[in-house]
Amino acid sequence: MAGSAAVLEDGSLVSRLDRRLLKAEKLLALISGLAVFSLMILAVVSVGGRNAINAPLPGYVDWIEQIMPLIAFMGIAYVQREGGHIRMDIFIGALRGRALWLFELVSVLLILLLILALVWGSWSHFLRSFDFAAPLWSRDSSIDIGLPIWPAKLLAPVAFAVLALRLLLQVWGYGRALVLGLETPPAVPLVQSAAEQAAAEAEQLAGHDTNGSGQG
């Protein structure tokens, strides 16, 4: 299924590393969420300031453009860990056992290749905007109030580096499953059977829905 999937845990080294990395990934994803929240607050300050005291937030657009990379990148490894980046599973969903692990492994290796290239490319994009000798270390600034852009540009290689770690773990996880012929390997998102997924989903939604049911 394209959306969420389950990641099993056990005492193996790869699973222990998975859980350790997950903590960091979840924190980064929450930062993404808080950044969305800050967009809202920013608008309230800007509209409120304009209407109440004729003082709109200076550089409103510049600030939004600085916040967007936080929102877009920080959660990327977390979504990969949960198997949340969408895909077509008509073909791969029909595979079982070693054949499945082989395709998953090749797929993750290709993604790793792309992400390593993007760590390089986005790092060089960052470097072009960064200069120790310049005021605020800035070689690229925003259009309106001249904010340095390098901190926002740095977010891409950082987030991609964390994603690269996640992908390495998944290469290990799928590779181990392929070599050992495992049925249900830990530390990688599994295509679940319907019943397993239903149980997981019901558990997850049970808490969410109490709020809404009062209205129903």
* Region 112-151 residues binding other proteins, contact defined as CB under 8 A: 113-115, 117-118, 120-125, 128-129, 134-135, 138-146, 148-149
Candidate list 14, 155, 177, 190; residue touching other proteins; CB under 8 A: 155
CA R_g for the chain: 21
Q: Are 164 and 119 in contact (CB under 8 A)?
A: yes
- Phi, psi at 33, each rounded to 5°: -65, -45
Least separation in angstroms between residue 11's CB and other proteins is 27
Least separation in angstroms between residue 181's CB and other proteins is 20
Is the CB of 16 or the CB of 131 nearer to other proteins? 131
**Could you say which residues in the range 169-208 bind other proteins, by CB under 8 A?**
192, 194, 196-198, 200-201, 205, 208
Is the CB of 93 or the CB of 181 nearer to other proteins? 93
**Could you say which residues in the range 29-88 bind other proteins, by CB under 8 A?**
29-30, 32-34, 36-37, 39-44, 46-47, 50, 54-56, 58-62, 64-69, 71-76, 78-80, 82, 84-88
Q: How many residues belong to the site for other proteins (CB under 8 A)?
A: 105
Least separation in angstroms between residue 175's CB and other proteins is 17
Buried b / exposed e over 63-98, threshold 16 CB at 10 Å, is bebbbebbbebbbbbbbbbbbeeeeeeeeeeeeeee
Is the CB of 13 or the CB of 89 nearer to other proteins? 89
The H or E element that residue 6 is part of is strand 6-7
Dist CA 146 CA 135 (whole Å): 12
3-class DSSP assignment, residue 141:
strand
Least separation in angstroms between residue 13's CB and other proteins is 26
3-class DSSP assignment, residue 144:
coil
Dist CA 159 CA 119 (whole Å): 9
Is the CB of 11 or the CB of 213 nearer to other proteins? 213
